[in-house]
């Protein structure tokens, strides 16, 4: 992936950090962001071809600055991984009827509006064959007890992906790596480092027509790379 510029939001830990490392190890120039600038800088400090910067996806001005700085440094942005997300409830123990307005609003602001801002600001700086990847999971498509605002936000984010796919010339799709052990999942699932390469595959070797407006899951990746 030489001469490729990749932006990964929410790259200070978990899946985002693993994805950023995987792209950098593949030769791409990677800009990872987090609302905690010190944390993302520390996470990516020893990763060749990668740098961490402070940006909060809830703030479109921050997102514009992130995209503009990356485009000025590297030219066109080839890949965007809109990974930034939060889950302020315990997985499986956050029933939607009991969700507070504050938690609901903050979750939607980050997981949905933040994804919207990231994709919206990036598309004008991307080539026609660029790719946008939005991580998601089965909770977005299957009713799951106790997932509260998080489940709603991921379902809405997948709807957002389909809308962008219908209107943008770039391929915009969902990547579902299955359950990954992060703070959002309460540490349940596979090691994030086991699925970082899945995003590299989705950004480079996967059929763009199969990605665009659709979901590439773990089974598709394993079948394609077996």
By annotation, the residues acting in catalysis are: 150
Q: Which residue has the tokens 């490729």?
A: 4
- Joined together, the tokens standing for residue 122 give 């990036």
Phi, psi of 32 (to 5 degrees): -110, 145
User: What's the rounded Cα separation, in Å, for the pair 50 and 36?
Assistant: 16
Residue 35: helix, strand or coil by DSSP?
A: coil
Q: How far apart are CA 90 and CA 117, in angstroms?
A: 26
User: What's the Cα-to-Cα distance from 76 to each of 69, 79, 127, 193, 225, rounded to whole Å?
Assistant: 11, 9, 7, 27, 28
Closest listed residue to residue 85, CA positions, set 30, 34, 29: 34
Structure tokens at 27: 């030769």
According to DSSP, the β-strands at 50-54 and 29-34 are parallel
């Amino acid at each position: 992936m030489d001469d490729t510029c990749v932006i990964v939001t929410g790259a200070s830990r978990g899946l985002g950090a693993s994805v950023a490392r995987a792209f950098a190890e593949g030769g791409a120039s990677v800009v990872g962001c987090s609302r905690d600038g010190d944390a993302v800088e520390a996470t990516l400090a020893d990763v060749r071809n990668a740098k961490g910067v402070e940006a909060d996806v809830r703030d479109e001005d921050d997102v514009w600055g992130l995209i503009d700085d990356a485009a000025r440094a590297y030219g066109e942005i080839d890949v965007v991984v809109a990974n930034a997300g939060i889950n302020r409830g315990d997985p499986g123990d956050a029933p939607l009827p009991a969700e507070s307005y504050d938690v609901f609003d903050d979750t939607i602001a980050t997981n949905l509006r933040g994804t919207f801002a990231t994709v919206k600001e990036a598309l004008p700086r991307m080539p026609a064959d660029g790719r946008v990847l939005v991580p998601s999971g089965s909770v977005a498509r299957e009713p799951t007890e106790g997932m509260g605002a998080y489940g709603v936000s991921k379902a809405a984010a997948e709807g957002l992906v389909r809308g962008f796919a219908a209107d943008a010339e770039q391929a915009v799709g969902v990547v579902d790596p299955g359950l990954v052990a992060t703070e959002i999942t309460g540490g349940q699932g596979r090691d994030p480092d086991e699925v970082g390469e899945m995003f590299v595959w989705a950004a480079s070797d996967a059929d763009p027509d199969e990605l665009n407006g659709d979901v590439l899951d773990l089974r598709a990746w394993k079948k394609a790379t077996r």
